[in-house]
Amino acid sequence: MSNIVAQMKAKIIVTPKKAVVDPQGKTVQSVLEHIGFKGIGAVHVGKYLEIELPDNDAAGWQKRIDEACHKILSNPVIEDYQFTIE
């Protein structure tokens, strides 16, 4: 049995939709301002995921990762996602 060596990585960012109240983001923003980072705008707290891919089939993975994001890695009711494959 050979170990799978990652050839590429999918890098996925999931963020709360604008319409969803993001109390974490608001709290981080107020703490940032409190400790001196004045003049910043809204903060949005999301998630970052990395998936190791075993080959260089970027086009094929583009479709499959998109499906994974839609099906489980994000909830389209409350979150948006974006990803790159590199």
Contact residues toward another protein (CB under 8 A) are: 16, 19-21, 23-24, 27, 47, 72-73, 75, 77-78
Q: Measured from the CB of residue 8, what is the shortest distance to another protein in angstroms?
A: 22
> What is the C-alpha separation between 54 and 52, in angstroms, rounded?
7
> What is the C-alpha separation between 77 and 30, in angstroms, rounded?
26
* Cβ pair 48, 13 in contact under 8 A: yes
* Closest to another protein by CB, 5 or 77: 77
Q: Measured from the CB of residue 2, what is the shortest distance to another protein in angstroms?
A: 29
